Amino acid sequence: MKTYFRLLSFAKPIEKFAIPYIIFTLLYVFFSTMVLALLGPLLNTLFLTSVSAAAHGVQLAKPTSFLDFQAWFKYYLQYYVSNYGAWGALKFVVAVIIAAVILGNLFRYLSARTMENLRVHTLLNFRKAVFDNVMNLHLGYFSNERKGDIISKVASDVQVVQYSVTGTLQVIFKEPVTLIAFLVTLFLISTKLTLYSLLVIPVSGFIISRIVKRLKAQAIAAQQSYGNMISYLDEALSGIKIIKAFNAVDFIKGRFNSENKNYSRITKSMARRQQLASPVSEAMSVTMVAFIVLYGGYLILNHKSELSPGQFIAYIALFSQLMRPAKAISDSFSNIHSGIAAGERVLELIDTKPAITDAPDAKPITDFIQGIQFKDVTFAYDEKVVLSNINFTVPKGKTVALVGPSGGGKSTMMDLIPRFIEPQKGEILIDGHDLRSLTTNSVRALMGIVNQESVLFNDTIFNNIAFGKPDATQEQVEAAARIANAHNFITETENGYQTNIGDRGTKLSGGQRQRICIARAVLANPPIMLLDEATSALDTESEKLVQDALNNLMKNRTSLIIAHRLSTIQSADIIVVLEAGTIVEQGTHAELFAANGLYRRLIDMQTFNS
């Protein structure tokens, strides 16, 4: 139940909904119970079996308590019988029943609407908390987790919580109150018969609890299996070209279908248990009513019961309704197992703390004046050291290139600057300020980033370039596209800047996608540029166009470049050569080429292979 109440905490302020709901529900239960309780007087009035006192002129005294509704009803019933006869009394009883039904259903509607508002409010807060925390998580989390499993938690599991855990809020209050109201009325009609009837309820509850016992474990397994399926689907759609190229279609189909069968097996087993609870409950209910009819009928036939026939029929009708709230409570316990299991999975995302957060006293930085400095920086993934004792400076206005063999730590070093990751040792300074003493948003606002992978969204070209700058004008977007040498091909598309580029930009070529990303960085107009192999996806002609644009863009800016083709960074002010996580050389192209070290060997290898 700890998880259940944790989920309910997202309903705050709950009193805004709870107080009206309690009032409406109590009124609904009162009037709905009254309708059943009035069946006895209705039948007795119809058959004139309990109005002998009135027939002999005996008038009941007025009740002394305003809240003694049963006494007041009997008083007015006798009044109508004595003054208007059985027909008048019957009209009175029917009018009271109709009024009770109308009022009961009115308050039932109001309570249901209030509960729906509470459910929507709770799920609004829940989804917001989940998504907000996912967006705040560090990049390493997404490297270790399946994307499909995260999607499953945010989308599917939240829906399960919505229709099970929050749905039981209604059952937790309304059904127990209804059950208590029915029981009190049954005891008022006949204590002996009610005590006898209640002996069977614990047996029914025990049987149903055994049926739903394993539902939570099955729900967890089902949600994990569903997450795997979503992951396989995402991987299949993302890599469809490679899958077909390597004739791996049958393998991918088999993997997905195997998990699909596993998920279907689990859900069928869960459904079997959930669906068994209702028939068992109903069968027990009918059996109990049958025994009550048998026992009560025996007492009446042998004149051993204080109940009139009308009261006995009303008792049977009321008891048959007693199992409805009891059944609803048992069904809610079967559903809550699935909801809590889903809630626990979603809460994992909320409870996962971001590895990188702003310090309480962090201050924003608005200007970039001096440069970026690495001081004794060491970074490791788990036990594997990627960077070791890195010391170097990126002066303001200079272009610094990072080169070296694959796996040397170039991308890791670049990711440290916008605080995508943090060093285990040492510090990174901007204008002499430790990054950890500055707000992350203000640091990233100083930077324009273009990665090796073109990250685009299923939207128009205009919105992709203006991403992060919603107030950008058409003229500003076009100017950025011209610098990135993208304007010409954009105007040739079907709708120009309003052309939708498809999922991840699939309607564009690789070079076109990268130029859109570069235009986005140009539009941001940042003082610091981070380019991680920004031209690697371009053909020779596009690379020359974009490289010229980048050269113009980097003038008078501080730029850090990772380049696959070393010919593109020969004009850099400083070239830093990384190998196995350490800086082995740094200097200008001419200095490093003359030193005849690793940089010279890399140049010779590319010259030989070209």
How confident is residue 538, by pLDDT bands cut at 50, 70 and 90? low
Judge if the upstream peptide bond of residue 418 is cis by omega within 30 degrees of 0: no
SS3 402: strand
Q: Are 364 and 444 in contact (CB under 8 A)?
A: no
The closest of 36, 183, 24, 184 to 105, measured between CA atoms, is 24
Is the model's pLDDT at 51 over the cut of 60? no
Task: Say which residues have a Cβ less than 8 Å from residue 429's Cβ, sequence separation at least 6.
Answer: 372, 373, 375, 435
How confident is residue 288, by pLDDT bands cut at 50, 70 and 90? confident
Q: How far apart are the first and last CA of the chain?
A: 66
Provide mean pLDDT across the span 234-256.
76
Bridge partner list, 394: 372
Is the model's pLDDT at 355 over the cut of 70? no
Provide mean pLDDT across the span 425-434.
92
pLDDT at 441: 87
Of 365 and 32, the one with more pLDDT: 365
Lookup: tokens for 296: 């009560």
pLDDT at 201: 63
| Residues 451, 603: Cα–Cα separation, whole Å | 23
Q: What is the pLDDT of residues 63-84, one digit of tens each?
A: 666 656 666 666 777 777 777 7
- Type of residue numbered 265: R
How confident is residue 175, by pLDDT bands cut at 50, 70 and 90? confident
27 and 50 belong to one structural domain: yes
- CATH value at residue 478: 3.40.50.300
Provide mean pLDDT across the span 380-398.
88
How confident is residue 136, by pLDDT bands cut at 50, 70 and 90? confident
Provide mean pLDDT across the span 541-555.
71
For 59: left if phi > 0, alpha if psi spans -120 to 50, otherwise beta; the answer is: beta
pLDDT at 49: 47
Q: Are 523 and 469 in contact (CB under 8 A)?
A: yes
130 and 95 belong to one structural domain: yes
Find the range with the poorest average confidence among 358-367, 448-457, 477-486.
448-457
Q: What is the pLDDT of residues 365-388, one digit of tens each?
A: 988 888 999 999 999 887 788 999
Find the range with the poorest average confidence among 44-48, 224-228, 392-396.
44-48
pLDDT at 582: 94
User: What does the buried/exposed string (b/e) look like for 338-354 if buried means 16 or more CB atoms within 10 Å of the residue's CB?
Assistant: bbbbbbbbbbebbeeee
Of 606 and 448, the one with more pLDDT: 448
pLDDT at 470: 82
Q: Which domain-ending residue is among 327, 353, 379?
A: 353
119 and 179 belong to one structural domain: no
SS3 434: strand
80 and 157 belong to one structural domain: no
Q: Are 200 and 291 in contact (CB under 8 A)?
A: yes
Is the model's pLDDT at 296 over the cut of 50? yes
116 and 153 belong to one structural domain: no
SS3 358: coil
How confident is residue 181, by pLDDT bands cut at 50, 70 and 90? confident
Helices 309-351 + 168-189 axis angle, to 10: 160
Q: What is the pLDDT of residues 445-466, one digit of tens each?
A: 898 888 777 778 888 999 999 9
- CATH value at residue 349: 1.20.1560.10
Is the model's pLDDT at 281 over the cut of 70? no
Q: Which domain-ending residue is among 135, 170, 204?
A: 135
207 and 241 belong to one structural domain: yes
Is the model's pLDDT at 598 over the cut of 50? yes
| Residues 281, 330: Cα–Cα separation, whole Å | 8
How confident is residue 54, by pLDDT bands cut at 50, 70 and 90? very low
Residue 469 is part of which domain span? 455-525
Is the model's pLDDT at 305 over the cut of 70? no
463 and 515 belong to one structural domain: yes
Find the range with the poorest average confidence among 154-168, 263-277, 469-483.
154-168
- Type of residue numbered 578: L
- Type of residue numbered 410: K
DSSP state letters, 4-49:
HHHHHGGG-STHHHHHHHHHHHHHHHHHHHHHHHTHHHHHHHHHTS
83 and 127 belong to one structural domain: yes
120 and 177 belong to one structural domain: no
The closest of 333, 321, 329, 416 to 377, measured between CA atoms, is 416
Q: What percent of the chain is modeled with pLDDT above 70? A: 78
Mean residue pLDDT across the chain: 79
pLDDT at 400: 93
The closest of 230, 315, 222 to 271, measured between CA atoms, is 222
Of 514 and 43, the one with more pLDDT: 514
User: Does residue 412 belong to any structural domain of this protein?
Assistant: no
89 and 173 belong to one structural domain: no
Bridge partner list, 395: 371
How many domains is the chain partitioned into structurally?
3
Q: Which domain-ending residue is among 135, 158, 174?
A: 135
Q: Report CA dihedral (260, 265, 267, 269) to the nearest 10 degrees.
A: 180
Q: What is the pLDDT of residues 310-331, one digit of tens each?
A: 677 777 777 777 767 766 666 6
| Residues 524, 166: Cα–Cα separation, whole Å | 44
What does the H/E/C string look like for 85-139? HHHHHHHHHHHHHHHHHHHHHHHHHHHHHHHHHHHHHHHHHHHHHHHHHHHHCCH
User: Does residue 203 belong to any structural domain of this protein?
Assistant: yes
Lookup: tokens for 453: 């992978």
User: Does residue 547 belong to any structural domain of this protein?
Assistant: no
Bridge partner list, 559: 399, 529
Is the model's pLDDT at 176 over the cut of 90? no
Find the range with the poorest average confidence among 325-329, 431-435, 528-532.
325-329
How confident is residue 435, by pLDDT bands cut at 50, 70 and 90? very high
Is the model's pLDDT at 426 over the cut of 90? yes
108 and 155 belong to one structural domain: no
Of 191 and 418, the one with more pLDDT: 418
User: Does residue 583 belong to any structural domain of this protein?
Assistant: no
User: Does residue 363 belong to any structural domain of this protein?
Assistant: no
How confident is residue 42, by pLDDT bands cut at 50, 70 and 90? low
| Residues 25, 107: Cα–Cα separation, whole Å | 7
Q: What percent of the chain is modeled with pLDDT above 90? A: 15
pLDDT at 170: 66
Provide mean pLDDT across the span 570-599.
91
Which residue pairs from 451-454 have beta carbons closer than 8 angstroms and sit at least 24 positions apart in sequence?
451/517, 451/532, 451/533, 451/534, 452/532, 452/533, 452/534, 452/536, 452/537, 454/504, 454/505, 454/510, 454/513, 454/514, 454/516, 454/517, 454/537
How confident is residue 55, by pLDDT bands cut at 50, 70 and 90? very low
pLDDT at 56: 43
User: Does residue 558 belong to any structural domain of this protein?
Assistant: no
User: Does residue 322 belong to any structural domain of this protein?
Assistant: yes
User: Does residue 427 belong to any structural domain of this protein?
Assistant: no
Q: Report CA dihedral (122, 123, 125, 127) to the nearest 10 degrees.
A: 160
184 and 276 belong to one structural domain: yes
pLDDT at 462: 93
User: What does the buried/exposed string (b/e) look like for 166-191 if buried means 16 or more CB atoms within 10 Å of the residue's CB?
Assistant: bbbbbbebbbebbbebbbebbeebbe
User: 């609870």: which residue's tokens?
Assistant: 277
Could you say which DSSP state residue 164 is in?
T
